[in-house]
Amino acid sequence: MGEMLEVPNRPLRHGYTTGACATACAKGALLALLQQRPQPTATIWIPAGQWVTFALQDVHYQRDSASAATIKDGGDDPDATHGAKIVATVSWSDEPGVQIDGGTGVGRVTKPGLPVPVGLAAINPVPRKMLTDTVSGVLREYGVERGVRVVISVPDGEDIAKKTMNGRLGIVGGISILGTRGIVVPFSTSSYKASIAYALQVAQAQGLQTVVLTTGGRSEKYAMRMYPELPPEAFVEMGDFVGFSAKHGKRVGMRELHFVGMLGKFSKVAQGVMMVHAKSAPIDFAFLAQVAAEAGAPPELQAQVRTANTAAQVGDWLLAAGYPAFFSRLAEHCCRQVLTHIGGGLRVVTQLTTLDGQWLGGAVVDG
């Protein structure tokens, strides 16, 4: 997932989910099979409540099967699957109804905790329903009572999956076919939150009761060095969603939440800010001066802290002046604020590091 991205300062263009693309391809392929002629476009109804037309390419048909492809347009969302080719192949089946499976480049679920059972293709429930309903609707329209098999493929899916959390979640061999509304809202928080929730559910399903929550790739790398005894599933990149991740961790039954990160964002957590995006709330330097006082810093250093530009600058000053207790006090404030936010009930640990991974201090609070 990486660190949170900055949003362009202009109107943003919506895109469409892999689930919507797969459904359009399936409809186009089925129409090509039924009509025995190529289909330039396919129009589908998406859960967001609108009809959307997709341009199709590579439409091929034979007597018993057909395929169609489209290029996923994610709009202005910086998604790993933007520009991916999505392919649907439909064929007549002796089994009644609509059978849906994943082909090349669509991952397969190997760990419990996801909304798709172990062993099945990683095609989420809403896209499965979209595919089933759309294909069934076309069959009804043509008065055809035959079973249909639909296979969704993504030729570059295995490479694209390396840029996602799929491996950590136990989805092997490719990407997931996702989307609850069919439409991609650029820079929306819903997909990021969903990946956090899935990661926590997978950790719980693996029998883990401790997770380590980090703000991005760099802090996760430091956290993995800090906790070498924990398996990869225990590490979850929460981005800026501290409060959401803590609440969901409690909801799935975790006993311990460990937070690892740097001073900037965790200075906000210590203030009680649970969404720590750069634009969410300013750092309160008067509060940091109060924490410095708790650590024994003299009044003149407290006054200097109030004039700081960044939390990192405050950290440098306190280290140079010989007050390492500042970091453990700040970490303790973080723990207590998280516990207040989630209503207690578990152990919270906060570990603070520098940008290059040096440990500054930590605290443990039982709630």
Q: Identify whether residues 166 and 245 lie together within a single domain.
A: no
Task: Determine the pLDDT at residue 314.
Answer: 96
Q: Pick the last residue of a domain from 126, 152, 184.
A: 184
9: in domain: no
For the chain, how many structural domains are there in total? Answer: 2
Query: Is residue 73 located within the same domain as residue 104?
Result: yes
What is the pTM (predicted TM-score) of this model? Answer: 0.78
- Considering the domain architecture, whether residues 173 and 251 belong to the same structural domain is answered as no
Three-state SS string over the chain comes to CCCCCCCCCCCCCCEECHHHHHHHHHHHHHHHHHHCCCCCEEEEEECCCEEEEEECEEEEECCCEEEEEEECCCCCCCCCCCCCEEEEEEEEECCCCEEEEECCEECEECCCCCCCCCCCECECHHHHHHHHHHHHHHHHHCCCCCEEEEEEECCCHHHHHCCCCHHHHCEECEECECCCCCEECCCCCHHHHHHHHHHHHHHHHCCCCEEEEECCHHHHHHHHHHCCCCCHHHEEECCCEHHHHHHHHHHCCCCEEEEEEEHHHHHHHHHCCCECCCCCCCCCHHHHHHHHHHCCCCHHHHHHHHCCCCHHHHHHHHHHCCCCHHHHHHHHHHHHHHHHHHCCCCEEEEEEECCCCCEEEEEEEEC
Domain shared by 177 and 261, yes or no? no
pLDDT tens digits, 119-146: 999 999 999 999 999 999 999 999 999 9
Please give the pLDDT value at position 80: 80
47-103 per-position pLDDT tens digit? 989 999 999 999 999 999 999 999 998 776 657 888 999 999 999 999 999 999 999
Query: Which of 111-120, 163-172, 177-186, 292-301 is predicted least confidently?
Result: 177-186
Give the CATH number of the domain where residue 75 resides.
Answer: 3.30.2110.10
Domain housing 227: 196-366
Q: What is the mean pLDDT of residues 330-350?
A: 97
State mean pLDDT over 196-216.
95
Look at residue 149 and tell me if it is in a domain: yes
Do 118 and 219 lie in one domain? The reply is: no
Q: Which one has a higher pLDDT value, 134 or 14?
A: 134
Q: Is the predicted pLDDT of residue 185 greater than 50, yes or no?
A: yes
Q: Are residues 346 and 270 in the same domain?
A: yes
Has residue 191 been placed in a domain? no
- 159 part of a folded domain: yes
**Range among 79-88, 162-171, 310-319 with highest mean pLDDT value:** 310-319
Q: Is residue 109 part of a domain?
A: yes
**The predicted structure's pLDDT at residue 1:** 34
Q: Answer yes or no: is pLDDT of 278 > 60.
A: yes
